[in-house]
């Protein structure tokens, strides 16, 4: 007699409360829908005419921006497939600092095209294989689309070529002004070997008031507070940096002092004063003219600092304190005492400057052609506006960093995507089997960039795309750098190379690879298994009166 083996079902495998979804309908298509919805959120923020998003995060902080990296970071995405897109865009931000929007939008377009192929009968594994072939071929084609190079990293005109496009996509209309500021700051700190360029050496300080046209670059560091004492400026400064408070050290245990008369009382406080005086006397004798501390300054210490004409500056951020040490060549001391000659820093000018109605302290290196740190002082009417300008500057600096690694340039304004689309269509036509359908859809997904640029600028996307196709399919290949002209809606197309709109090859290649890898990963999923959330049952909601506030 044969024993009957009970049929194993998933609910019997796991604890109660597990959610399980599998198959094309439940897992793959649901994931595609979620990622498409997410990519549509940031798609309208792409390009110079991208719309702003108003986001209030979990801490109730308000963000008004069209920067995809900020939007993605502040949105609390829960869906696991959409989270993969978030991770890919964050990786692009940390690796290259630009094109985060392209990663999300292109991955969303790839998945949308895959949905059509699945409904037509292709298996997800066949689509994944086709996408992998298309990705590898696209990365081989990209270097062939190169139209220019940055010949010198110390030439202002050459650097302006690369940063105009990323800055105009964030601050359209101010790209010339901000590009000049970023290039000036970059040239101030450009090392002999450009590959050692450090983005952290360009600082941004925001001072509210006036307009963006009052923004300027300062060699050295700017701190948004005034000095503590009476001394406001000094030249050829010798600087001592302390991480401890400038005050008498307090003992760990409490003690009781018995004082019999007034004379003993006076002597007790005099000894204390003499001790503090000796510390600052020694500092003055060593030639120190500026003291920087990352902690508090006591009243008695401030009195002696003023007496010995020593300028006292408080820098509360430990990161800024480290950067200042790097700029002036000082060592931060954890003890209060006279630093040795090699522990002291030097600075040409330390002064207090009024910017708007705010007093700031500036550490400037005047005599050296280059400095280790430079600061861009941003002016603006609102905090949100200045934050957005800072994000545009960060993108510009990151693109210069990418150019130090790879100086090759591609045509911008959607021209590269259209030319790559054309080349991949040719590859698909020569590919046998079912893979050709996936390669063809990969090429079609690249249309999303010029289409989005047209839609965000209020242009007729279909008409402009047909003109772009006509230009790129010319036999003489003269139209390979024809892109979208958002300033001329009637014509709609222009030569991106002649207009000076370029994309960095390294940045685009990284974004393309990340987007394709993410889409392939999401398509590879065929089951979603979610465990029961931790914690007990939620308490029932109290029925409130209709007139009560939430």
228 — pLDDT class (breaks 50, 70, 90): confident
> Is there a contact between 415 and 427 (Cβ–Cβ < 8 Å)?
no
Write down the H helix ranges in 220-369.
262-285, 299-307, 318-328
Output the pLDDT for position 547.
Answer: 64
Residue with tokens 């210069």: 400
DSSP β-bridge partners for residue 303:
none
Output the pLDDT for position 1.
Answer: 47
pLDDT of 201 over the 60 cut:
yes
Output the average pLDDT for the chain. 80
3-state helix, strand, coil in the chain (%, to 5): 50, 15, 35
CB atoms within 10 A of CB 528: 16
Q: Using DSSP bridges, classify how beta strands 233-242 and 290-293 pair: parallel, antiparallel or unpaired.
A: parallel
Q: Show Cβ contacts of residue 92 under 8 Å, excluding neighbours closer than 6 positions.
A: 99, 100, 103, 510, 511, 514
What CA–CA distances, in Å, run from 512 to 137, 166, 226, 425, 446?
11, 17, 47, 17, 10
d(CA 150, CA 493): 25
* 393 Cα distance to chain centroid: 9
> Is there a contact between 386 and 394 (Cβ–Cβ < 8 Å)?
no
544 — pLDDT class (breaks 50, 70, 90): low
Nearest Cα to 511, choosing from 16, 7, 9, 110? Answer: 110
d(CA 19, CA 120): 29
Per-residue pLDDT of 26-55, as tens digits, reads: 677 888 888 888 888 888 888 788 888 888
Structure letter (DSSP) for residue 74: H
Residue with tokens 């685009």: 508
Output the pLDDT for position 390.
Answer: 86
Residue 281 burial by Cβ neighbours in a 10 Å radius (0-12, 13-18, 19+): middle
* pTM, rounded to two decimals: 0.80
| Torsion over CA: 199, 44, 513, 134 (sign) | negative
d(CA 85, CA 102): 11
pLDDT of 543 over the 70 cut:
no
pLDDT of 8 over the 60 cut:
no
SS3 call for 475? coil
SS3 call for 62? strand
Taken as a whole, the chain contains a residue count of 550
* 478 Cα distance to chain centroid: 36
Domains and CATH numbers, the chain: 14-147+411-530 (1.10.560.10)
pLDDT of 263 over the 70 cut:
yes
Per-residue pLDDT of 475-496, as tens digits, reads: 666 667 888 888 777 777 888 7
> Is there a contact between 334 and 347 (Cβ–Cβ < 8 Å)?
no
């Amino acid at each position: 007699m044969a024993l009957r083996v009970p049929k194993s079902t998933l609910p019997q495998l796991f604890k109660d409360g597990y959610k399980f979804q599998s198959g094309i309908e439940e897992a793959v298509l649901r994931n595609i829908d979620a990622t498409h919805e997410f990519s549509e959120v940031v798609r309208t923020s792409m390009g110079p005419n991208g719309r702003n998003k108003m986001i209030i995060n979990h801490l109730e902080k308000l963000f008004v921006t069209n920067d995809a990296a900020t939007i993605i970071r502040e949105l609390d995405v829960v869906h696991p497939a959409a989270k993969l897109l978030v991770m890919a865009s964050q990786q692009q931000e940390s690796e290259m600092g630009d094109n985060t929007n392209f990663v999300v939008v292109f991955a969303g377009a790839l998945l949308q095209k895959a949905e059509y192929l699945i409904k037509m009968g292709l298996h997800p594994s066949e689509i994944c294989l086709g996408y992998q072939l298309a990705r590898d071929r696209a990365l081989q084609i990209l270097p062939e689309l190169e139209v220019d190079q940055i010949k010198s990293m110390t030439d202002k005109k050459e650097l302006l070529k690369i940063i105009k496009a990323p800055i105009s996509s964030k601050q359209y209309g101010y790209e010339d002004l901000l590009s000049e500021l970023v290039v000036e700051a970059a040239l101030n700190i450009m090392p002999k070997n450009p590959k050692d360029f450090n983005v952290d050496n360009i600082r941004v300080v925001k001072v509210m008031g006036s307009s963006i046209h009052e923004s300027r670059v300062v060699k050295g560091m700017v701190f948004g507070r005034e000095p503590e004492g009476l001394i406001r400026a000094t030249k050829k400064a010798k600087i001592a940096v302390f991480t401890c408070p400038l005050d008498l050290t307090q003992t760990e245990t409490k003690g009781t002092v018995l004082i019999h008369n007034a004379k003993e009382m006076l002597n007790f406080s005099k000894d204390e004063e003499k001790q503090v005086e000796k510390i600052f006397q020694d500092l003055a004798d060593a030639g120190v003219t500026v003291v920087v501390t990352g902690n508090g300054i006591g009243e008695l210490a401030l009195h002696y600092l003023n007496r010995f004409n020593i300028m006292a500056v408080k820098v509360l951020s430990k990161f800024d304190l480290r950067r200042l040490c790097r700029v002036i060549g000082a060592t931060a001391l954890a003890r209060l005492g006279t630093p040795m000659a090699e522990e002291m820093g030097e600075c040409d000018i330390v002064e207090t400057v009024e910017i708007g109605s705010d007093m700031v302290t500036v550490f400037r290196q005047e005599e050296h052609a280059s400095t280790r740190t430079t600061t861009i002082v941003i002016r603006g009417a609102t905090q949100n506006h200045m934050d957005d300008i800072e994000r545009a500057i960060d993108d510009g600096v990151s693109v210069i960093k990418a150019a130090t690694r790879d100086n090759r340039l591609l045509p911008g304004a959607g021209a590269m995507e259209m030319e790559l689309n054309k080349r991949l269509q040719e590859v698909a036509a020569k590919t046998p089997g079912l893979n050709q359908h996936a390669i063809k859809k990969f090429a079609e997904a690249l249309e999303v960039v010029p289409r989005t640029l047209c839609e965000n600028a209020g242009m007729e996307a279909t008409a402009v795309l047909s003109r772009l196709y006509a230009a790129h399919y010319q036999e003489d290949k003269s139209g390979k750098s024809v892109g979208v002209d958002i300033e001329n809606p009637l014509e709609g197309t222009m030569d991106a190379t002649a207009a000076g709109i370029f994309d960095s090859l390294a940045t685009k290649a990284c974004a393309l690879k990340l987007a394709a890898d993410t889409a392939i990963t999401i398509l590879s999923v065929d089951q979603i298994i979610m465990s029961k959330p931790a914690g007990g049952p939620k308490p029932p909601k109290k029925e409130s009166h209709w007139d009560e506030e939430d």
